[in-house]
Structure 1
Amino acid sequence: MTTNRVLYLFGSAAPPVLDIAGVIERAKSADWDVCLGLTPTAARWLDDELPALEELTGHPVCSQYRLPHEPEAWPPAEVAVLAPATFNTINQWALGITDKFVVGVVAEAIGKGIPTVAMPCVNAAFVQHTQFDTSVATLRAMGVRVLYGEGGFVPNKPGQGRPESYPWHLALEAAASVVSTPVPPKPQ
């Protein structure tokens, strides 16, 4: 089966990123050609799995900007999803601080008109910082579909996160909805 719908899947260093292979498998079953990008810390967390993730996607896993003489590693995206997106990643993106590859690509995606979805993974203590709500509002104002609050990610109390209940299906459904593609059913 040939896929031509390209999904850029980006992940920050939050516990749900440890299940990224399962998310890629679900996306591929919906005929997405998945390209995986990780923050440097998330890449370090998944270091032993990177070769298998590259084999699964058929593309290099990227966590650093390419050098000027290096060719683009991935085909152009139809949609970009950043999940899990940490407190730091959401704030850097909204403020335009693009020292991380993942943040730079999603920041540029806005200007390129690439539909972009973000789903935070933060605890209730972090969201008390006023910058977080400001950043979410800023991203939404720029056209990013931020899955946060009712119908998206709801913060947990510090130390009480349940990575296995992170609503990955919502991120994939949102990506599919912007390009009108079917989504596989939520795992039971």
Structure 2
Amino acid sequence: MTTRTLYLLCSAAPPVFEIAGVVEEAQHRGWDVCLGLTPVAADWLEDSLPGLAALTGHPVRSRYKRPGQPDVWPAADAVLVAPATTNTINRWALGITDTWLVGFVAEGIGKGIPMTTMPCVNSAYAQHPQLPLSLETLRTAGVQVMYGPDGFEPNAPGEKRPYPWDLALDAVDEQTR
């Protein structure tokens, strides 16, 4: 059986604290998981990074490598950007590649890598006029966007409810069949 490689790329939103269980579920589904984080998400998970690297069998990435350094991950068969904050979504759609995670997914559009994103934004952020424009830009570029009734629906600021990780993993599985 050929191993499929999933790049699981996460922004700094509360569901990132559940990432070990998500990695395990993706592995159960047959994925070799490589975990990438925005710099803030890496700061939030700093104490967990060695354990997450051991769980995935790959270093956790959050920064660009130096020129000439080899890639430390196998090539991606699919990418899941979740949870994706307003900041990550807007920077990705606008091509602002000042972080490794956004730089990778911006380039991934041009490389034709199957990509799915599921936002994690509250209803106040969802009212900002740039967010729907950025989501539409990503859809037009071929990114599967899990936002609305079939994905993530914004919650009130401060409201806590489960993040639909299973929907995101199901979407990636379906996209790569």
TM-score for the superposition, normalised by structure 1: 0.92
Q: Does 1:52 align with 2:51?
A: yes
Aligned partner letter, 1:72: D
CA deviation after TM superposition for structure 1 residue 19, in Å: 0.4
TM-score for the superposition, normalised by structure 2: 0.98
CA deviation after TM superposition for structure 1 residue 161, in Å: 2.8
Contact 1:3/1:32 (<8 A) preserved: no
Residue 170 of structure 2 corresponds to: 173
Within 2, Cα distance between the matches of 1:153 and 1:64?
Answer: 27
Q: Does 1:132 align with 2:124?
A: no
Residue 184 of structure 1 corresponds to: none
Greater Cα shift, 7-16 or 67-76: 67-76
Pairwise CA RMSD = 0.9
Residues 98-109 of structure 1: matches in 2 within 5 Å?
98-109=97-108
**SS of 2:117 mapped into structure 1:** strand
Residues 11-160 of structure 1: matches in 2 within 5 Å?
11-160=10-159
Within 2, Cα distance between the matches of 1:24 and 1:3?
Answer: 19
**SS of 1:125 mapped into structure 2:** helix
Aligned partner letter, 1:97: I
Give the share of equivalent positions with the same residue, in percent.
Answer: 59
Contact 1:122/1:155 (<8 A) preserved: yes
**SS of 2:158 mapped into structure 1:** coil
Unaligned runs of 5+ in 2: none
Unaligned runs of 5+ in 1: 181-188
Residue 160 of structure 2 corresponds to: 161
